[in-house]
Amino acid sequence: MVKPTLQAAAFGKDFHWGVAISAAQNEGAVSEGGRSASIWDVYSRRKGVIKKAAKPMPACDFYHRYRDDLLLVKALGFTAFRFSISWSRILPDGSGKANPAGIVFYQQLIEECHALGLTPFVTLYHWDLPQVLQAEGGWESPLINRWFRHFAKVCAKNFGTVKHWIVLNEPAGFTTLGHLLGIHAPGRRSMDGFLKAVHHAAIAQADGARVLRQYIPDAKIGTSFSCSEIIPYSDAPLDIAAARRIDLFVNRLFVEPLLGKGFPEDDKGIVQKMNRLNKSWKYASQMQFDMDFIGLQNYFPLVVKHASLIPVIQAAEVKPAQRKVPVTAMGWEINADSFQHIIRRFWKYGAIKEIMITENGAAFKDSLQQGRVNDQDRINYYHQYLDALFSAKREGVKLGGYFAWTLMDNFEWAEGYEARFGLVHVDLKTQLRTVKESGFWWRDFLKT
């Protein structure tokens, strides 16, 4: 096993080292404690949308096993724990009275974090909208922002001991995958619906922050963005222009409204042309908020080329396999230099106070043999990416923390249980946890 050479202490004593999970991917217990169905519970029942017809219902049973799982987090040396709150567990009807059992569950989870010396980082929305709200239009409905403010208020009033909050998890992800491409819940394929969802999510990330600031004035508030360096396939002007268009949707679509710049523009006015489908595309001041930090979640770069036959964006990805570069089990390119580049790119906006890496990690084809998982590829991955992170710090980027994705193998959306990202192996039949070699590597790294 490659031993850590970089020291965790080099990042500073106030740097947060954590692991991240989410409610829909880990909790299970979907019919217990007064919880109602989420859009993922319903979407997973469709034939052929999840690998091997997997369902999020059992997941990792974190709902019942959270105390033992938090002990694992502590034993591996982490000092912070990121999790999300299930909207369906807190507000089973989506927008009305709070569910006492749901409130108690998260209060106990938070208390356990504090008792173990783990700083809780709580995500308000991690993709699991209550199905009852989806039936009323979900993120495409003009009422969604009212519903979301109410949810944020209930959470803020009941979980005020939490001082680190993330409003939305990857808004570009759940709007594009769920409302435009239809490959994630709720499985919608509509340009008009996509634009409405984008507009409402851009308002929600600022609205949620305003509610949190009102009820928890001393909280440190941020939101998280999925991001990828977009690289032109060649120096040809058409490829460069295609990369700019993809960059608009992948990296710029939500951060620029948050920073008060409004929705991004490009040479062809793509967003502005699409806006004709969406008459409610306005309210720039509602989308702006001065966040305490921005969370970045990076897994791979994208190489793109011009593709005249693809409508609107006229761009296509050049797959890593075609370029013969190192990849994870998901086929995602491993490129630590690109990780450093995208961090630097966001820092250059100039209006961001601090960056936290709220997710980063890799899936590999792990094998449990004689009680061990020798995941050397994952260790090498973290070794490279943490070196790149430290290089960004040395260049002057203010970094507040790093969260590995993820604590344990879980429900990975459309991938079901096939993609294993965890530092801890989970036997889905017995729920037995086995720390992988990468988990022990992290323990050694954090000990230093």
List the structure tokens of 421: 């990202």
> Taking 60 as the threshold, does the pLDDT of residue 83 lie above it?
yes
HEC string for 395-438:
CCCCEEEEEEECCECCCCHHHCCCCCCCCEEECCCCCCEEECHH
Residue 398: per-residue pLDDT: 98
What is the structure's pLDDT at 57? 92
Distance, CA of 28 to CA of 438 (rounded, Å): 25
Tens-place pLDDT, residues 303-315: 999 999 998 889 9
Closest C-alpha among 220, 350, 216 to residue 291: 220
- Residues 151, 124 contacting (CB under 8 angstroms): yes
What's the CA gap between 175 and 181, in Å, rounded?
9
Give the separation between CA 338 and CA 323, rounded to whole angstroms: 15
Predicted local confidence at residue 279, as pLDDT:
47
Mapping DSSP to helix (H, G, I), strand (E, B) and coil, where does residue 317 land? Answer: strand
What is the pLDDT, as a whole number, of residue 1?
A: 64
Query: What angle (nearest 5°) sits at the alpha carbon of residue 188, between those of residues 148 and 28?
Result: 60
Q: Which residues contact 197 (CB under 8 A, 6 or more apart)?
A: 138, 139, 140, 174, 175, 178, 179
Q: Is the pLDDT of residue 292 over 90?
A: yes
Average pLDDT over residues 114-133: 98
Q: What percentage of residues in the chain have a pLDDT greater than 90?
A: 92
Q: How many of the other CB atoms lie within 10 Å of CB of 212?
A: 24
Average pLDDT of 353-376? 98
Secondary structure (DSSP) of 64-81: HHHHHHHHHHHHTT--EE
From 161-175, 260-274, 320-334, the region with the lowest mean pLDDT: 260-274
Tell me what the mean pLDDT of segment 334-340 comes to. 98
Return the active site residues: 170, 359
Q: Which of 69-73, 88-92, 278-282, 375-379 has the lowest mean pLDDT?
A: 278-282
DSSP 133-179: HHTTTGGGSTTHHHHHHHHHHHHHHH-TT--EEEEEE-HHHHHIIII
Distance, in Å, from the CA atom of 8 to the CA atom of 149, rounded to the nearest integer, reads 38
Cα distance between residue 253 and residue 230, in whole Å: 14
**pLDDT tops 90 at residue 112:** yes
Task: Tell me what the mean pLDDT of segment 70-77 comes to.
Answer: 98
Q: Within 219-361, where are the H helices?
A: 237-247, 255-258, 270-274, 320-323, 336-347
Give the per-residue pLDDT at 348.
98
Nearest to 422 by CA among 386, 368, 369, 384: 368
Where does 8-447 sit in CATH, by number? 3.20.20.80
The confidence score (pLDDT) of residue 40 equals 98
Give the sign of the dihedral formed by CA 229, CA 232, CA 237, CA 239.
negative
Q: Phi and psi (nearest 5°) for 211?
A: -65, -45
Per-residue b or e along 172-190, where b marks 16 or more CB atoms closer than 10 Å to that residue's CB: bbbbbbbbbebebbbbbee
What phi and psi values does residue 182 have, to the nearest 5 degrees?
Answer: 70, 20
Cα–Cα nearest to 21, from 88, 106, 77, 81: 81
What was the pLDDT predicted at 284?
A: 81
The per-residue pLDDT for range 184-224, each reduced to its tens digit, is: 999 999 999 999 999 999 999 999 999 999 999 999 999 99
Report CA-CA distances (Å) from 312 to 187, 268, 308, 421.
Answer: 21, 10, 9, 34
Q: Return the structure tokens found at 197.
A: 């969802």
Q: Chain-wide mean pLDDT for the chain?
A: 95
pLDDT above 80: residue 3: no
pLDDT band for position 4 (cuts 50, 70, 90): low
Per-residue pLDDT of 7-58, as tens digits, reads: 999 999 999 999 999 999 999 999 999 999 999 999 999 999 999 999 999 9
**Where are the domains positioned within the chain?**
8-447
Output the pLDDT for position 146. Answer: 98
Write out pLDDT tens, residues 257-267: 999 998 888 76
What was the pLDDT predicted at 277?
44
